[in-house]
Amino acid sequence: MGYYITVEHNVNIYIEDYGPEDGQPILFIHGWPLNHRVFEYQYDQLPKAGYRCIGVDLRGFGKSDNPWTGYSYDRLADDIRSVIDTLKLEHVTLTGHSMGGAIAIRYMARHAGHKIFKLALIAAAAPIFTQRQGYPYGLTTITKERVNELIKATYTDRPEMLHNFGKMFFYQNITESFKEWFQGLGLTASGNATAKTAVSLRDEELWQDMSKIHVPTGIFHGVHDEICPFTLAEALQAGIKGSELVPFMYSGHGLFYCEMEKFNHELAGFIG
């Protein structure tokens, strides 16, 4: 079932709801520059185990409205708060992939974990996405210059940018048809939202946010991730007290495709 939720004046966020209404809720936040449909193969399976899966299109992506402003992590986290409160959700497992993981972490800090039961971080673009001086886990993250190139390509040849981004996403081989479907997800976004969230990815940091997380946290990360290297997962585990790191030995950034069966099993086991 699809519907819209108003998160601020003239800004409506698109939601898809899968599974039993009284099921334990899992709220999925997609990564850059995709939409809620990227979790299709979780929506197909997890409701069979009784979970209610709620997919959100972030503002500017998928079927949501495309305002000119509002692409900071703070504003995106506030949108998630509006979704949770409007739907009157309780005991939520907040699940974020890539940039969605960063937004989930900001939500936990900014809104004191409001209504969150557990936190699942999937190949999260956190605690930082781009290289910084003093980063203790090695300079394996993407440079700011590389993100600037993505922003420039977004404004000049977005389809080619998405094509090249897709090449880095998967470690396992995928079909040409699947590549076309995946690129189509990115093309539904507005160019403005794609560029402005890339600025947030480039500039924002989440070091202080991690210390404010006080719910069970699962960190799911592909060992061969070229977009958010595995060292980021190690930094998250070090920074989030009591967190559990689950490595995916045969996956890149798209671990929920590369090792789909294992991912669904591990996520369900983590939620319990």
φ, ψ dihedrals at 98, nearest 5°:
60, -120
Beta bridge mates, 220: 122, 246
* 131 touches 142 (CB < 8 A): yes
Looking up residue 159, the CATH number of its domain turns out to be: 3.40.50.1820
- Total domains in the chain come to 1
CB 159 within 8 Å of CB 189: no
**pLDDT averaged over 10-residue windows placed end to end, the chain, 272 residues:** 94 97 97 98 97 98 98 98 98 98 98 98 95 66 88 97 93 93 96 98 95 98 95 95 98 97 98 94
CA 214 to centroid of chain Cα atoms: 20
Structure tokens belonging to residue 42: 């979780």
Task: Give yes or no for a contact between 43 and 27, defined as CB atoms under 8 angstroms apart.
Answer: no
CB atoms within 10 A of CB 249: 10
Domain around 97: 2-271
User: Can you tell me the distance from the alpha carbon of 44 to that of 266, in angstroms, rounded to the nearest whole number?
Assistant: 16
Helix (H) or strand (E) holding 14: strand 11-18
CB 138 within 8 A of CB 70: no
Supply the residues annotated as catalytic. 98, 225, 253
